């Protein structure tokens, strides 16, 4: 069910509306059979518009919405009447959605704010009627413009989760359990790899009514940047997180190597990810004594803050919240 309910990539065929043709008409009255041109302009073709909706967390509602075709504009008519514009189509998308041209892969729109509207694919302009071409030297133009055609193409919508903190780690590192105790989220938790197939979001209640959003992201494996495992589907969501919390289990065979592999995959996918704030949490630390902690300490990078935690015993979770808030708050200010 989890995999079916979270859709973060959609491919759709779009066509904006054609513009209506201008009218080639001449006014005829009882007392003036040659009263002059009165052909009106054609209406604009319908736009395809993207609108941000903070209540949406997935592109699931667009899964079977494969053809998006906007209404054509109406043609102009006599008495200088402009044709009606084609009806716009508004597609509501979750915050963090990127719209691309499938052929060029160029980003055409990015929705980050609730209620923000972007005209993604404009409709064709309506043609001018012959009344628009009348001049002192050409008082009876015999021509009018056709409407401009709409734009049609295959497009893609891609969702990158918006969260302040992203949990990064190998499968079974304890990320889902941590999310469940820090927030009210209820991710699927089990003792096997790739329990989390899709991002899970939760809100951490902090002090004085403050809060921040945290995302449990699918686990990395070596080669993720090349598309192995959940590959790019996972890594693209990290691009939105201000802070990355590396979760490394206490029972890891080599804590230093695990961190370096995670870091290497991020760098290979997008070197800019290395500019984010990093924190390290050693999970399942209730099984450690002081001697083991001292040994692990030697394997951790000196320039990155770290903390020993246990989701089961709630060890150092308040201190973890303090560290995360400090990092999130500083990233907002900067």
Q: Highest-confidence range of 68-77, 182-191, 194-203, 227-236, by mean pLDDT?
A: 68-77
- Structure-block tokens of residue 112: 């980050």
For residues 100-121, give the mean pLDDT. 93
DSSP collapsed to 3 states, 95-122: CCEEEEECCCCCEEEEECCCCCEEEEEC
Residue 117 above 60 pLDDT? Answer: yes
Q: What is the pLDDT of residue 184?
A: 64
Tell me, yes or no, if the two domains 2-159 and 165-333 fold the same way: no
Domain range annotation of the chain: 2-159, 165-333
Reply yes or no on whether the pLDDT at 178 is more than 90: no
pLDDT the model gives residue 150: 96
**pLDDT level of residue 116 (50, 70, 90 thresholds):** very high
Least confident interval from 30-34, 131-135, 145-149, 246-250: 30-34
3-state secondary structure of 201: strand
Q: Are 22 and 132 in contact (CB under 8 A)?
A: yes
Q: What is the Cα–Cα distance from 150 to 139, expressed in whole angstroms?
A: 31
Q: What is the pTM of this model?
A: 0.68
Residues, the chain, total?
334
Instruction: Name the residue with tokens 């973060």.
Output: 8
Structure confidence at residue 32 as a pLDDT band (50, 70, 90): low
pLDDT digits (tens, 9 = 90+) for 197-206: 566 778 888 8
DSSP 224-261: GGGT-TTHHHHHHHHTT-SEEEEEEETT-S-HHHHHHH
Query: What does the alpha-carbon distance between residue 273 and residue 271 come to, in Å, rounded to a whole number?
Result: 5
State residue 40's pLDDT score. 94
Return the minimum-mean-pLDDT range out of 51-60, 88-97, 218-227, 282-291. Answer: 218-227
Beta-carbon contacts of residue 163 (< 8 Å; ≥ 6 apart):
199, 201, 213, 214, 215, 240, 241
Helix axes 175-182, 317-333, angle to 10 degrees: 90
Summarised one tens digit per residue, pLDDT across range 253-294 is 889 888 998 888 788 878 888 888 999 999 989 888 888 888
pLDDT reported for residue 120: 96
b/e map of 183-195 (b: 16 or more CB within 10 Å)?
bebebeeeeeeeb
Q: What is the mean pLDDT of residues 127-151?
A: 91
Closest CA to 53 of 123, 118, 101: 118
CA 326 to chain centroid: 26
Residue 231 token pair: 């590959």
Asked if the model's pLDDT at residue 208 lies above 90, the reply is no
Average pLDDT on 70-78 reads 95
pLDDT of residue 294: 87
* Alpha-carbon gap, residue 47 to 70, rounded angstroms: 7
Q: Given strand 211-216, what is the order of strands in its sheet?
A: 200-205, 211-216, 165-168, 243-249, 277-283, 306-308
pLDDT at res. 279: 94
* pLDDT surpasses 70 at 108: yes
Strand pairing report for 67-69 and 9-15: parallel
Going from the C-alpha of 210 to that of each of 57, 204, 205, 326, 328, the distances in angstroms are 22, 9, 6, 12, 12
Measured between alpha carbons, how far is 178 from 290 in angstroms, rounded to an integer? 22
CA proximity to 262, closest of 212, 218, 315, 312:
218
CB atoms within 10 A of CB 254: 11
| 43 bridge partner residues | none
Cα–Cα distance between 42 and 56 in angstroms, integer? 37
Q: How far apart are CA 95 and CA 93, in angstroms?
A: 7
Q: Which helix (H) or strand (E) holds 167?
A: strand 165-168
Q: Which two tokens stand for residue 26?
A: 């001449």
As a CATH number, domain 2-159 is: 2.70.210.12
From the options 3.40.50.300, 3.40.47.10, 3.30.930.10, 3.20.20.210, give the CATH code of 165-333: 3.40.50.300
């Amino acid at each position: 069910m989890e995999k079916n309910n979270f859709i973060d990539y959609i491919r759709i065929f779009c066509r904006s509306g054609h513009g209506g043709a201008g009218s080639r008409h001449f006014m005829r009255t009882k007392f003036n059979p040659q009263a002059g041109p009165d052909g009106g302009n054609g209406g604009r073709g319908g736009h395809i518009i993207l609108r941000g909706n903070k209540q949406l967390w997935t592109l699931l509602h667009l899964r079977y919405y494969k053809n998006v075709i906007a209404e054509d504009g109406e043609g102009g008519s006599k008495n200088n009447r402009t044709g009606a514009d084609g009806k716009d189509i508004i597609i509501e998308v979750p915050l963090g959605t990127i719209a691309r041209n499938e052929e060029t892969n160029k980003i055409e729109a990015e929705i980050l704010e609730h209620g923000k509207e972007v005209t993604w694919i404009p409709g064709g302009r309506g043609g001018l009627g012959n009344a628009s071409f009348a001049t002192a030297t050409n008082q009876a133009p015999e021509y009018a413009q056709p409407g401009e055609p709409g734009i049609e193409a295959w497009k893609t919508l891609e969702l990158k989760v918006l969260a302040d903190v992203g949990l990064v780690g190998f499968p079974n590192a304890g990320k889902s359990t941590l999310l469940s105790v820090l927030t009210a989220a209820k991710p699927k938790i089990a003792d096997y790899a790739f329990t989390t197939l899709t991002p899970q979001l939760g809100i951490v209640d902090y002090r004085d009514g403050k809060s921040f959003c945290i995302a449990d992201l699918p686990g990395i494996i070596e080669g993720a940047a090349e598309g192995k495992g959940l590959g790019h589907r996972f890594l693209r969501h990290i691009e939105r997180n201000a802070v990355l919390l590396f979760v490394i289990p206490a029972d890891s065979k080599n804590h230093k190597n695990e961190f370096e592999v995670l870091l290497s995959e991020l760098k290979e996918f997008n070197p800019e990810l290395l500019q984010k704030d990093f924190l390290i949490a050693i999970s399942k630390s209730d099984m450690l004594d002081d001697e083991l902690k001292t040994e692990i300490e030697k394997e951790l990078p000196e320039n990155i803050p770290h903390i020993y935690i246990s989701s089961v015993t709630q060890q150092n979770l308040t201190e973890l919240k303090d560290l995360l808030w400090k990092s999130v708050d500083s990233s907002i200010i900067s």
